[in-house]
């Protein structure tokens, strides 16, 4: 799910990304001031406290992402300076309390253009990291020894032939599903065709191959995300473009010869398309069960989408960031949350509360 919270420490410029760790109790933010900040949730008062802040790159930091905690406290960042970096937390006890520092373990400098997005692979695939660049190249790195994060080997390089803006691993925990990566492009040329590509890794050829192009998505794509799959026979992909789209990818058969399975074919179905934001959509994110999709856009709202029992996707809530400050709980609820299609009789049982305003000039702008 998604937490709406003002940050009490100052970034000097626009915040580009916010990422929560696996347990949702730590948060990393990155911004145009070339810094990354780590926030920890205080158990006593529920406030987010900035516990680390450091300069990471020589240009705007576009994205930050956490590795699975099985590998330790590790984050990766990517930047306009054409590099990506791996950072690990080191905790020490100096006698005056526990002190943590973040150490740069590796720098990935293969890209010749801005590295636009970065994401760790699902735990089942080991400690792998995918990056995509404005030059249209997706690179996949792996740490051969998870105890030595100084060494990262470039294993695969995928040429997408269009500038890339975002990537997403399919987080399915099943070994029955071949590894999938979705790549989005923000190429402004409408004649370039579909702007979302699905790549699959073949265990037979040890190569990543494009198995699907979503030709219906022709507008620049700013973000996309595979939904966690906890038993569905198909995959769900959320896409942020000029509107919000939910795409269902159902494996139908595998293209192979002489009985040897190779690449998967998909039946592609658009499960939903919504222009409720009325403006550019910048981010999409799923909850842990893959049943609710959150989207944010230039309208200043976060909208939540969910499918009903007929598999029809609808907006179930709208969270607005411009509620009046210092109001009572009931009034704040009415100002902050507006259910879509609901009634005043309280058909919606879920409620979301705005935890803090962002009206103060020192607070962080974020979309």
Segment 183-199, tens digit of pLDDT: 999 998 877 889 999 99
Q: For residue 84, what is the enclosing H or E element?
A: strand 84-93
* pLDDT, average across residues 159-168: 95
Q: What is the 3-state secondary structure (H, E, C) of 49-75?
A: EEEEEEECCCCCEEEEEECCHHHCCEE
- Sheet (strand 223-226) strand order: 223-226, 235-240, 244-257, 260-274
Q: Indicate the length of the chain as a whole number.
A: 367
Q: Is the pLDDT of residue 5 over 50?
A: no
Cβ count near 341 (within 10 Å): 9
Determine the pLDDT at residue 193.
Answer: 86
Q: What percent of the chain has pLDDT over 90?
A: 66
What pLDDT does 138 receive? 97
Count other Cβ atoms within 10 Å, centred on residue 250: 13
**Among 149, 156, 141, residue whose Cα is nearest residue 71:** 149
Q: What is the pLDDT of residue 12?
A: 61
pTM over 0.85: no
- Which CATH code fits 15-298? 2.130.10.10
Q: In the prediction, which pLDDT does 55 show?
A: 94
Under the banding of pLDDT at 50, 70 and 90, the label for residue 354 is low
pLDDT band at residue 154, thresholds of 50, 70 and 90?
very high
Task: Enumerate the domain spans of the chain.
Answer: 15-298
Q: Which two tokens stand for residue 100?
A: 């943590």
Residues 49-96 have pLDDT tens digits of 999 999 999 999 999 999 999 999 999 999 999 999 999 999 887 667
Nearest in space to 62 (alpha carbons), one of 354, 332, 242, 282:
282
Mean pLDDT of 116-136: 96
> Which pLDDT does position 325 carry in this prediction?
31
Q: Which residues, in sequence order, are bridge partners of residue 107? A: 85
């Amino acid at each position: 799910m998604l937490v709406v919270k003002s940050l009490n420490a100052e970034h000097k410029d626009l915040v580009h990304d916010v990422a929560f760790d696996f347990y949702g109790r730590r948060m990393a933010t990155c911004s145009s001031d070339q810094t990354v900040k780590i926030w920890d949730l205080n158990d006593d008062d529920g406030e987010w406290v900035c516990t680390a802040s450091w300069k990471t790159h020589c240009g705007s930091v576009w994205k930050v992402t956490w590795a699975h905690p099985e590998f330790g406290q590790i984050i990766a960042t990517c930047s306009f300076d054409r590099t990506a970096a791996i950072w690990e937390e080191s905790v020490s006890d100096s006698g005056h309390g526990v002190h943590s520092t973040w150490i740069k373990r590796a720098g990935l400098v293969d890209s010749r253009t801005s590295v636009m997005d970065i994401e760790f692979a699902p735990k089942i695939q080991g400690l792998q990291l995918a990056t995509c660049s404005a030059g249209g190249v997706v690179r996949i790195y792996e740490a051969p020894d998870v105890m030595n994060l100084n060494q990262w080997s470039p294993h695969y390089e995928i040429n997408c032939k269009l500038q890339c803006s975002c990537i997403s691993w399919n987080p399915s925990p099943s070994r029955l599903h071949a590894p999938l990566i979705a790549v989005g492009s923000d190429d402004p040329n409408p004649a370039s065709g579909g702007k979302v590509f699905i790549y699959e890794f073949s265990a037979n050829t040890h190569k990543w191959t494009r198995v699907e192009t979503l030709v219906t998505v022709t507008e620049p794509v700013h973000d996309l995300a595979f939904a966690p799959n906890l038993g569905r026979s198909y995959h769900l992909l959320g896409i942020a473009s000029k509107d919000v789209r939910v795409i269902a990818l159902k494996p139908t058969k595998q293209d192979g010869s002489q009985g040897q399975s190779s690449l998967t074919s998909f039946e592609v179905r658009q499960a939903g398309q919504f222009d409720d934001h009325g403006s550019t959509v910048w981010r999409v994110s799923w909850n842990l069960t893959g049943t609710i999709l959150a989207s944010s856009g230039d309208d200043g709202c976060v909208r939540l989408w969910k499918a009903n029992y007929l598999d029809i996707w609808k907006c179930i809530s709208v969270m607005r960031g411009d509620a009046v400050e210092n109001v009572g709980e009931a009034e704040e609820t009415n100002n902050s949350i507006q259910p879509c299609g609901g009634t005043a009789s309280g058909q919606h049982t879920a409620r979301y509360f705005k935890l803090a305003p962002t009206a103060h000039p020192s607070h962080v702008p974020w979309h």
